[in-house]
Amino acid sequence: MTEAIVFDTEFTAWQGSMERRWSGPGEYREIVQIGAVSIDVATLRETAAFSILIKPVHNPILSDYLVALTRITNERLAAEGKDFVTGVSRFVEFVAGRRLYCYGRDDKVIAANAKLLGERTVWPRVAAFDLKDWLLAVGIPLAGVHSGALAQHVGGVSQGIGHDALVDSRSLAAAIRYLVERGAPNPLADS
């Protein structure tokens, strides 16, 4: 395979929901954005990008907390957002069978959303490779580091303000590129 997909998601959240593991009344991790970059496995350069907003169903109004975190407003979501099936179907088309990589298990978040919404067939049973395992193996401490800050955390260049799924995907790709250029094994070539 000559290209791989590095992706990230943003999903509904409230003050303290992460600490509660989304166990509060009515708290669901509904996807609001999927961002991704296609990376040439040999050169680690970006060859294409993808970003889509998805309208949540159970919590259609984004919390002030999430708006401040992601800068995705309710107005923007209403104007640009797609339904879950359309959004994920477009992402699957972009992926086009290439291997998936993320920071954590965003693939499981998509699968959980498909189950929650009764749309299990829209997300194929494809597991993503968790880049946290590789980062830890090459000696990168990750406590408290989110994907959008990863490039800068490893010594590379910031890719923009984090908690935007496309920026976060680019940050992951930039971190990989930076570390591989300094001798780390290429995680996209070894899977």
Domain that holds residue 90: 3-190
CA nearest to 35, candidates 105, 75, 109, 94? 94
Contacts of 154 (CB under 8 A, 6+ apart): 135, 140, 175, 178, 179
What's the total number of domains in the chain? 1
Using 50, 70 and 90 to split pLDDT, how confident is the model at 191? low
0.85 cut: is pTM over it? Answer: yes
**What are 3's two structure tokens?**
């290209």
The CATH code of the domain that includes 95 is 3.30.420.10
pLDDT of residue 157: 93
State the amino acid at position 117 in one-letter form. Answer: L
Placement of tokens 């496309």 in the chain? 166
Give 127's pLDDT tier (boundaries 50, 70, 90): confident
Q: Tokens representing 127?
A: 């597991």
Q: How far apart are CA 145 and CA 97, in angstroms?
A: 29
Q: pLDDT per residue over 12-64, tens digit each?
A: 999 999 899 899 888 999 999 999 999 999 999 999 999 999 999 999 999 99
3-class DSSP state for residue 112?
helix
CA distances (Å), 48 to each of 28, 38, 94, in order? 31, 5, 9
Smallest CA-to-CA distance from 35 within 132, 186, 147 is with 147
| 55 neighbors 149 (Cβ within 8 angstroms) | no
Average pLDDT rounded to a whole number, residues 135-140: 97
Nearest by Cα to 72 from 9, 164, 167 = 164
Query: Which residues face 84 on adjacent strands?
Result: none
**φ, ψ dihedrals at 96, nearest 5°:** 50, 45
pLDDT band at 161 (very low <50, low <70, confident <90, very high): very high
Which amino acid belongs to residue 10? E
